Structure 1
Amino acid sequence: MSRSTVRPTNVERYFSEDDVIVSKTDPKGIITYANKIFLTIADYSEEEVLGKPHNIIRHPDMPAGVFRLMWNRIQSGNEIFAYVCNMAKNGDHYWVLAHVTPNFDRDRRIVGYHSNRRVPDKHILPVIKDLYAQMRAEERRHASSKEGAAASVGIINAMLDRKGLTYDEYIHGL
């Protein structure tokens, strides 16, 4: 089944609070490593994910603005924590709190990215889901996906300005 034909099932998957989903990518986001927990929750074999773009597990309801924010942070050499809804091979979904960090060579050039994902706090998810719904609604108002993603990031920035917080302060304060 091709990724383009997979539709969300609205069935949520869960993993243990002791589990950590781990993946590594090259600088372009191509998967170079996926641990057993990643493969199990996403229902892929190692052969199916290695060499593929990490967005193979992207849920279509995730705002593009979240990924734009994430890429901007990690490509500039910074880490990021973000709540993400991923999609398994069959269309089931699972929520994670992702911690993504760049990997550097000796000359401080980014040579890839490392992501650890844990079970998110279930009490925080309603806040995140509401924010993401606002972001997706804003994205749909734009004909261009690029403009939509930029406007979606604007939703986060406006919220942070109102609260007088940085992104990191907001995420860690939830």
Structure 2
Amino acid sequence: MPAEQETVLDESAFLVSETDIKGNIRFANDDFCKVAEYTLKELMGKPHSIVRHKDMPKKAFKSLWDTVEAGDIWTGYVKNATKSGGYYWVFATVYPFQSCDGSKGYLSCRRKASQGEIDDAKNLYKLWNEEERT
């Protein structure tokens, strides 16, 4: 089985997506679509977990959801999956918000993570995944 292909973000890449309160995609910008390898049409209405990589520990997403559901801003490093089976790393910031129409949701903005940040996240997530298996 071939190794997964890593997509390394450009320094100027800024990935943005918006979801409803259940995590279903309502918007994704061109950078997000390009890196994740989906069209906007393919993403609309789908759970944001469509780009969740299998290596991400449940504990990381529990932290994210606990934080944003409490009305706070979450930041962290995320390994996401591409449509073709590859992956990419980002530093993500997720904001809870209320739209002009009164609907609530979450806005996620992501930038390139440095190699040092990725290495630190890999080590932490490896520990968390081992804890989840025991």
Classify the TM-score, shorter chain: over 0.9
- Say yes or no: does 1:113 pair with 2:110: no
The C-alpha deviation readout for 1:8-59, integer Å capped at 9, x for no partner, is: 9421101211110000000000000000111100100111110000000000
Counterpart position of 2:127: 134
1:124 partner SS: helix
Structure 1 spans left out of the alignment, 5+ residues = 1-6, 142-174
| One-letter amino acid of the counterpart of residue 83, structure 1 | Y
CA displacement at 1:101 relative to structure 2: 0.4
The C-alpha deviation readout for 1:64-107, integer Å capped at 9, x for no partner, is: 1000000000000000111000000011000000000000368x
Provide TM-score, normalisation by structure 2.
Answer: 0.93
2:115 partner SS: coil
Q: Which has the higher helix share?
A: 1
Instruction: Note closer, same or farther for the CA distance 1:76–1:110 as it changes in structure 2 (3 Å cut).
Output: farther
- Say yes or no: does 1:31 pair with 2:39: no
Q: Point out the structure with max Rg over C-alpha.
A: 1
Structure 2 spans left out of the alignment, 5+ residues = none
Determine the C-alpha separation between the residues in 1 that align with 2:110 and 2:70: 21
Counterpart position of 2:86: 92
Counterpart position of 1:11: 5
| One-letter amino acid of the counterpart of residue 131, structure 1 | L
- Provide runs of 4+ in structure 1 moved above 4 Å: none
Cα RMSD over matched residues?
Answer: 1.8
Determine the C-alpha separation between the residues in 2 that align with 1:35 and 1:68: 25
Instruction: Return the structure number with greater relative CO, CA threshold 8 A, min gap 6.
Output: 2
2:132 partner SS: helix
Determine the C-alpha separation between the residues in 2 that align with 1:36 and 1:10: 23
Give % identity: 38
